[in-house]
Structure formats: C-alpha cells, structure tokens
Amino acid sequence: MTDRRDFTPAPPLPGMRWPGDAGLAVSVVVNIEEGAELSIGDGDEANEAIYEAVEQVDDVIDPCMESHFEYGPRAGWPRIRAVLAARGIPATLNACGRAIARTPWIAAEAVDDGHEVSAHGWRWERHVGMDRDHEAGVIAQTVAAIAQAAGTPPVGWHTRSATSGQTRALLLEQGGFLYDSNAYNDDIPYFDGRHVVLPYAFDTNDMRFFNRGGFVFAEDFSRYCIAAFDRLLAESAHSPRMLSIGLHTRIIGRPARIAGLEQFLDHALAHEGVWFARRDQIAHHWRASHGLPLWSASA
C-alpha cells in the first residue's frame, strides 16, 4: 500500500547533541493571539467562541469575550515576561500579525529580552479551506506586520490548528522561512526536503486549562510538563529530544496559574544536559548537525 503519510519512527541519532552537549532542547513558546481573535467589533464575520467563558454570542459585539482576550497584553504578558527574564530563559513568541500590530510593545520588549518573534497567521484562525491566493496574502500580511513591530521578519510559522493543503508550499514560495511548527508527530525535529519542521505539542500546553482539558490548578500544569521533561531527558541520553511548552498570555498569565510555569522552569533548570532555546536556534542547529550550510533568508 502506498501511503501519503509517514508512520516510520525516526532512527536514533546517538552522536547528535545540542549545544553544550545537551540531550534535551526545551522550547518555550508564548502565543500572542490577543487582538487577532475573531470579533464582530473588529469587522470580522463572527465572534471567537474559545475563551474562558463557555458561551458564544452571535451577530453582535461581545464585550465579555473581548475583555477576556484583553487580559493577556494588560496583565498576563508582564507576568510571563518577568518569569522568563528572572531565569534567563529565551522563548519564541508565536505572534498573530493583527495581534502584534495592535500591541507592538510586546514585540519590542521580546526583542529586547532576546526572544524570537515568529508568525502565527494574521488572524487567530485555521487555514484549512483557504484558497491559494488568499492564503498567500495572509502569509505576506503577517510577515509585514511582524517585521514592522519586531524590526526583522519572522523565520518561523505556525498555523492555528488545521493548515491548508498548500500552507508549507506557500511558506517556501514566499521565502524567508527557516522552519514551521505545523506538525505534532514527533519529539524531535525533522526535514521536509531541506525545510525544518519543529513539531509542536497540545499536551504540554496551558490550553488544557480551557475546554475541560484537565488542568485546574497551577500544579496540574507543572506536574504534567515535569513528567514529560523527565521522560524525554532520560531518553536523550541515547538520542536527542525536544520538548515544546506552549503558553498563552491570557491563560498561564493568570495569578493562580503562573506558579505552574515557575515550578516547571525551576525543575528543568536544576538538571544538566538541557538546552533552553528559541525555535529558530533549534532549527539552525538541526540543519548544522546534518551537514547543511548556514541558513539565510536569501539562500
């Protein structure tokens, strides 16, 4: 049977190590989506339905939903930023173009702190079903907004949930993308041609505080992420591993949840053989470790 999908386990890479002879790369991803959620008040066709409140308002402006998203930039981001800065942790900001255009100070502060600003679409929406020309325009619009706010264009991309069938091809045609995170199928990076794919994760992710995802207390987040960290660190003695930790300013940034992030980071920092890195750094090292030349947007 010929299969368009690849179910084959990646071969072990016992000789490959991350910088500092680390076996485990930890990628902290802060999703910046607030202001990019669908809102009739912003001229969108509908209101966002996924947020803290379990209800949906149709056809009219929803101040409750909008207020929930406003919490992220106003209160959540300063908390997360302080936690990362106190521990010297580099992160990737997965930023929607419309969100970062409305909160450009977040991009400026992130760059000042040594973080990466990556692309997460223009609006916070799925790309599945988009026609090719429309999606190409969305990608270009997102790149332009991030370049203006951060000072440099993004080199990484992650679509919310479902991509279209042509998303990766459009990223390659647009140029300037070192990697994307539109995959959930492994604990290590891999190549699509020479393009780097950095799998993301929905389990080690604060999104599980929402929609009956199982997280209630801060310790639920830290315990789960620590369990993943401990297992991957043990496996990394024999072959490299990568752990993605997904954060949202309006979720983990709440006062009763932020300690979960602190607990996980302090646990991870207490161990040897760990490399905290931005996703662009991980992708660059993955290429170099496979004998590929230094990547540049013009290459």
Q: pLDDT tens-digit profile of 218-249?
A: 999 999 999 999 999 999 999 999 999 999 99
Q: What is the mean pLDDT of residues 242-271?
A: 98
Name the pLDDT band for 1 (thresholds 50, 70, 90).
Answer: low
pLDDT digits (tens, 9 = 90+) for 54-69: 888 989 999 999 999 9
- CATH of residue 90's domain is 3.20.20.370
Nearest Cα to 91, choosing from 121, 112, 69? 112
pLDDT digits (tens, 9 = 90+) for 131-147: 999 999 999 999 999 99
62 burial level (CB within 10 Å; 0-12, 13-18, 19+): buried
Domains held by the chain: number: 1
Assess if residue 3 is contained within a domain.
no
Instruction: Output the CA angle 274-295-244, nearest 5 degrees.
Output: 30
Cα separation, 291 vs 154, in Å, equals: 24
Assess if residue 91 is contained within a domain.
yes
Assess if residue 51 is contained within a domain.
no
Name the pLDDT band for 299 (thresholds 50, 70, 90).
Answer: low
Assess if residue 9 is contained within a domain.
no
Tell me the residue range of the domain where 217 lies.
19-38+72-289
Cα separation, 93 vs 203, in Å, equals: 18
Assess if residue 213 is contained within a domain.
yes
User: Does the predicted model carry a pTM greater than 0.95?
Assistant: yes
Assess if residue 281 is contained within a domain.
yes
Cα separation, 191 vs 6, in Å, equals: 12
pLDDT digits (tens, 9 = 90+) for 71-82: 999 999 999 999
pLDDT digits (tens, 9 = 90+) for 104-138: 999 999 999 999 999 999 999 999 999 999 999 99
Assess if residue 48 is contained within a domain.
no
Assess if residue 30 is contained within a domain.
yes
